[in-house]
Amino acid sequence: MHPNPSFFQSTIVNNPQDTLQGREDEEPPGSGAAASEPTANCVVRRVSSLNDAAIVLRFPPERVARTSLRTRAFRRKFFSGVPDKTWNDWQWQIRNRIRHYGQLQSMLDLSPAEKGVADHTGHKLPMGITPYYMSLLTVDDAAQPLRRTVVPTINEFVRSPGEADDPLGEENQSPVPGLVHRYPDRVLLLVHDFCSTYCRYCTRSRVVGHGAILPSRSRLEQAIDYVRATPSVRDVLLSGGDPLTLNDDRLEWILARLRRISHVEIVRIGTKIPAVLPQRVTGRLVRMLRKYHPLWMSLHFTHPDECTPETTRACGMLADAGIPLGSQTVLLKGVNDTVDTMKSLCHNLLRMRVRPYYLYQCDPITGSGHFRTSIAQGLEIIRGLRGFTSGYAVPTYVVDAPGGGGKVPLMPDYMAGREGSDLLLRNYEDRLFRYPDCRSADIETGSSPCPLETIP
C-alpha cells in the first residue's frame, strides 16, 4: 500500500457542459489536465481506473505545451474575448464552426480556386471547420496541406472518368438503413451523418451533412436488431458522420445495447475528433467509454501538422482509458504523398500512442481527381518506410475496391524470383538475398531438391 492514500487520485476532470444546446438541421443530435510528478528519470502520472489505481510512467520527462503558438495567435486575432474555458468547450466549438464564405474571407486570403466555389449552388458536401482546426491553417498559402483538406475549391466540380457518388457500393450492401454488411463477421453502423469538420475527400460526401442519416432511436434499434439476429457478426464499427459528436448519453445508449449482444466481441469507433476537435475528449467521455471494453478506436489523421499539444493530450486520455488506438490515413496528392511527410506523420502518431494502421488510396468519389495519386506513388511511400523505420510505423497500404470488393492490400514486390530451391528476396536496400525454401520446392515439384543430413 502506498504510504499516502491520497496519492492515487483520478486525473480526469468532469466537464459539466456535456450537453449540446441548440442545433440546426445538420447539427449533431442530443441534448483537467493530468497531474504529474517528475522523478530522476521519468514522469509519474497519477491515474485511477474503475476499480483500482495505476501509475503511468512517462520517459523522458518533458513539459508539454497546452497549445501551439499558431493557435494562440489565431485566438488573439479572431476570438480575443473568448476565455479558455469557453474555447475548450467542445459544444462551443461546434456552435461556432466556420460554415460560410464570408467567415472564410475574413480569416484567409482566398485563392481564385477557393473563391470560385461561392458561385456554385447545390454543392454536395457542406463546409464546416471548427475554430480550433481553423487555427491550424495558414492565412496566405492555399496549398498548405491542412487547408487543402477542408476548404472547398472549384476542383470538386470536375468529374473524372471512373468516379462515382458511391464508389464502394455501400448502398447495395445495406440490409437495413444506415448499416453496411460487406464482410462476413463485421458490420459498419452509421450512427448519423454529422461531422464537426468536413473533409473534402469524404467517401460519403453523397450523404454526409445533409440530414440523410439521423440518429433516431427507431432506425438505430432496427440496425441493432439486425446485428442481434446475425450471429456471424462479432465486430461492429460505429461510423457516420462522426460518432463522437453525439453527446455522451446517446453514444452510451448505442454502446450499451451492442454490449448486450453475446456474439458481439468487439466494438470499434471511427472518428476524426482527436484531430479536429480534441476538446471533445473529456474526462466524462473516457470514463463512459472504458465501461464497454473491448473497445477500439480508428482515428483519422492526415498530416503531421495535426499532431498538436491538444491532440496529444486527447489521445493520451483515450489510451490511458485502455482504448487501443489505430490511425487510418488517406493518401492525398499535395498533402501527404511524400515519404518524408508520411514518415513524420507515422512517427508523431507513435509518440501519441497511436499505431499507424491503414494508408488508404483515395476513393474515386465524384470530384476527387485533384486529391488522388497514382498507385505507384503509394507503393513508393511504403517502400520508403519499410526497413527505414520501425515496423510499427508502417501502415498497410490498401485500395478499397470499387463496387464493394472490400480492402485489397498492396505491397512492393520483395520477391525477386527463384533459383532452384532458393527464394530470391530483395530487401529495403535493394540488395538480393537467398532463402532456402525447400518445403515450397517439395510442393511445387513433388520431390525434395535439398540434401537431407542427419544431425549428430
Annotated catalytic sites, by residue?
Answer: 182-183, 186, 195, 199, 202, 204, 363, 400, 407
First to last CA, the chain: 56
Q: What CA–CA distance (Å, rounded) separates 164 from 365?
A: 5
Peptide bond into 60 cis (omega under 30): yes
Distances (CA, A) of 182 to 162, 168, 169, 213, 407: 21, 10, 10, 19, 10
Exposure b/e, 366-378, CB count within 10 A at least 16 = b: bbbbbbbbeeeeb
269: part of which helix (H) or strand (E)?
strand 266-271
Chain centroid offset of residue 420 CA? 46
197 grid coordinates? 469538420
Please state, in angstroms and rounded to a whole number, the distance separating the CA atoms of residues 138 and 144.
7
**Degrees (nearest 5) of the Cα angle 263, 269, 274?**
160
What does the alpha-carbon distance between residue 391 and residue 185 come to, in Å, rounded to a whole number? 27
Integer Cα distance of 272 and 278 in angstroms: 9
For residues 395 and 358, the answer to whether their CB atoms sit within 8 Å is yes
Single-letter code of the amino acid located at 225: D
Rounded Cα gap, residues 245 and 196, in angstroms: 7
DSSP secondary structure string for all residues of 110-155 = --HHHHGGGG--S-SS---B-HHHHTTS-SS-TT-HHHHHHS--GG
Residue 242 has a CB neighbour count (10 Å cut-off) of 26
Cα-flanking dihedrals φ and ψ of residue 186, to 5°?
-150, 155
Sheet holding 422-426, edge to edge: 415-419, 422-426, 432-436
CB of 197 within 8 A of CB of 228? no
